[in-house]
Structure 1
Amino acid sequence: MRILHILNHTRRLNGHVHAAVDLACAQVRLGHEVYVASEGGDFDSLLKANGIGTFVVNHRRRIPSLVKALIRLNAHVRDLEFDIVHAHMMTSAVISYPICKVRGVPLITTVHNEFERSATLMGLGTRVIAVSDVVGASMKRRGVSASKLKVVLNGTIGSSRSEGRSEEPKPLRSPSILFVGGLHPRKGLPDLFHAFEAIHGAFPAAHLYVVGDGPYRETYKEMVATLECAEAVTFIGSVSDPYPYMVAADVFVLPSHADPAPLVLSEAREARCAVIGSAVDGIPQLLEHGEAGLLVPPRDPAALAGMLRHLLESPERIASWKQKSQLRIDRLTIERVAKETIEVYRSAMPHPKAVALAT
Structure 2
Amino acid sequence: MFQVRTPFNHRSFDALNATGVDLDVVSPTPFAPPLGPYSDYRHVPKTEQWGSYRVHYPRYLYMLPKKYFYHVSGNSAQKRVTSYVERTFETPHDVVQTCGFYLDGYASLEYCRKRDIPLVALSHAGDLKNFDRFNERVQSQIRETIDYCSAVLTVSDELADVARRFAPASKVTTLPIGEDPEKYPTDRREAIRRELGIAPETKLLLFVGRFEEEKGVRELVAALEALDRDDVAIAAVGHGGALRWWFLDQLGELSHPSHAYWELDPIAVRRLHVAADLLVLPSHFEARPTVIYEAMAAKTPVLASDVGGIPEMIVDGETGVLTPASDADQLREALEYLLDDTERLRTMGAAGHQRLLDQEWTWTHHAQRLSEIHREVIHE
Quickly name the TM-score band, shorter chain normalised: 0.7 to 0.9
Structure 2 unmatched ranges of 5 or more:
30-43, 63-72
Query: How far apart in 2 are the matches of 1:137 and 1:64?
Result: 31
Please state if 1:179 is matched with 2:207. Answer: yes
Q: Secondary structure at the match of 1:208?
A: strand
Are the counterparts in 2 of residues 150 and 344 from structure 1 also a CA contact under 8 Å? no
Are the counterparts in 1 of residues 315 and 321 from structure 2 also a CA contact under 8 Å? no
Displacement after TM superposition at 1:224 (Å): 4.3
AA at the equivalent of 1:85: V
Are the counterparts in 2 of residues 35 and 54 from structure 1 also a CA contact under 8 Å? yes
More deviation in 178-187 or 339-348?
339-348
Query: How far apart in 1 are the matches of 2:218 and 2:255?
Result: 13
Q: Secondary structure at the match of 1:6?
A: coil
Displacement after TM superposition at 1:66 (Å): 4.7
Are the counterparts in 2 of residues 158 and 335 from structure 1 also a CA contact under 8 Å? no
For residues 31-57 of structure 1, what are the alpha-carbon distances to aligned partners after superposition, in whole Å with 9 as ceiling and x for unaligned? 211121115759x7662x2x2133232
Q: Which residue of 1 aligns with 2:66?
A: none
AA at the equivalent of 2:379: P
For residues 254-285 of structure 1, what are the alpha-carbon distances to aligned partners after superposition, in whole Å with 9 as ceiling and x for unaligned? 11111111111111111111211111111121
Query: How far apart in 1 are the matches of 2:54 and 2:122?
Result: 20
AA at the equivalent of 1:26: A
Q: Which residue of 2 aligns with 1:240?
A: 265
Query: How far apart in 1 are the matches of 2:110 and 2:77?
Result: 16
Of residues 7, 10, 22, the one that matches 2:11 is: 22
Q: Which residue of 2 aligns with 1:100?
A: 112
Query: How far apart in 1 are the matches of 2:184 and 2:260?
Result: 26
Q: Secondary structure at the match of 2:347?
A: helix
Are the counterparts in 2 of residues 37 and 54 from structure 1 also a CA contact under 8 Å? yes
For residues 217-262 of structure 1, what are the alpha-carbon distances to aligned partners after superposition, in whole Å with 9 as ceiling and x for unaligned? 112234445x6x3453332333112111111111111111111111
Query: How far apart in 2 are the matches of 1:289 and 1:99?
Result: 45
Structure 1 unmatched ranges of 5 or more:
12-16, 352-359
Please state if 1:148 is matched with 2:164. Answer: no
Of residues 202, 227, 234, the one that matches 1:208 is: 234
For residues 140-187 of structure 1, what are the alpha-carbon distances to aligned partners after superposition, in whole Å with 9 as ceiling and x for unaligned? 13x21111111101212169xx599x9645333511111011111111
For residues 185-220 of structure 1, what are the alpha-carbon distances to aligned partners after superposition, in whole Å with 9 as ceiling and x for unaligned? 111111111112222x2x222112211142311122
Please state if 1:195 is matched with 2:223. Answer: yes
Are the counterparts in 2 of residues 19 and 156 from structure 1 also a CA contact under 8 Å? no
Displacement after TM superposition at 1:292 (Å): 2.1
Are the counterparts in 2 of residues 171 and 248 from structure 1 also a CA contact under 8 Å? no
Q: Which residue of 1 aligns with 2:341?
A: 314
- % of aligned pairs identical? 22
More deviation in 214-223 or 107-116?
214-223
Please state if 1:6 is matched with 2:9. Answer: no
Q: Which residue of 1 aligns with 2:36?
A: none
AA at the equivalent of 1:195: A
Displacement after TM superposition at 1:64 (Å): 5.4
Of residues 77, 81, 84, the one that matches 2:92 is: 81
Displacement after TM superposition at 1:65 (Å): 5.9
1:1-359 superposed matches below 5 A: 5-7=1-3, 10-11=4-5, 17-39=6-28, 47=50, 49=51, 51-61=52-62, 62=73, 66-76=78-88, 79-89=90-100, 90-114=102-126, 115-117=129-131, 121=142, 123-124=146-147, 125-141=149-165, 143-157=166-180, 168-169=192-193, 170-173=196-199, 174-199=202-227, 201=228, 203-214=229-240, 215-224=242-251, 229-241=254-266, 242-288=269-315, 291-330=318-357, 331-351=360-380
AA at the equivalent of 1:73: V
Query: How far apart in 2 are the matches of 1:72 and 1:45?
Result: 16
Query: How far apart in 2 are the matches of 1:107 and 1:116?
Result: 22
Quick one: structure 1 residues 152 and 257, their matched pair in 2 at CA, closer, same or farther if it must change by over 3 Å? Answer: same
Query: How far apart in 1 are the matches of 2:181 and 2:235?
Result: 26
Q: Secondary structure at the match of 1:247?
A: helix
Q: Secondary structure at the match of 1:207?
A: strand
Quick one: structure 1 residues 268 and 60, their matched pair in 2 at CA, closer, same or farther if it must change by over 3 Å? Answer: farther
Query: How far apart in 2 are the matches of 1:140 and 1:345?
Result: 20
Quick one: structure 1 residues 20 and 205, their matched pair in 2 at CA, closer, same or farther if it must change by over 3 Å? Answer: same
Q: Which residue of 1 aligns with 2:38?
A: none
TM-score w.r.t. the length of structure 2 is 0.78
AA at the equivalent of 1:148: K
Quick one: structure 1 residues 60 and 155, their matched pair in 2 at CA, closer, same or farther if it must change by over 3 Å? Answer: farther
AA at the equivalent of 2:372: E
Count of equivalent residues: 329
